[in-house]
């Protein structure tokens, strides 16, 4: 296993007050989230050795900021699709 830190910057006018970042182990859910304008970003993680997208070891949002101002993030657990 390895650790990756991604720094991602882009310009967008959010559709609403909530930015939703998702990590899923289901390709249909990934496609649905990728097309959903309410979803800021979706990642697909193929389950391996009992480790799936719902695990904090797989995906963790460490920091998010809007207009260079840090915003709070909260974990809502795995979504069911």
- Helix, strand or coil, per DSSP, at residue 22: strand
What local confidence, expressed as pLDDT, does residue 75 receive? 64
Asked if residues 24 and 45 have their Cβ atoms less than 8 Å apart, the reply is yes
In tens, the pLDDT along 18-67 reads 788 888 999 999 999 999 888 888 889 998 888 888 887 888 878 888 88
Closest CA to 58 of 43, 38, 39: 43
């Amino acid at each position: 296993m390895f650790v990756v830190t991604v720094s991602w910057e882009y310009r967008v006018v959010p559709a609403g007050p909530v930015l939703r970042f998702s990590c899923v182990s289901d390709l249909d859910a990934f496609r649905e989230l990728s097309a959903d304008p309410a979803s800021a970003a979706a990642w697909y993680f193929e389950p391996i050795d009992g480790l799936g997208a719902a695990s904090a070891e797989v995906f963790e949002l460490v920091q998010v900021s809007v207009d260079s101002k840090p915003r709070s993030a909260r974990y809502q657990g795995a979504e069911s699709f």
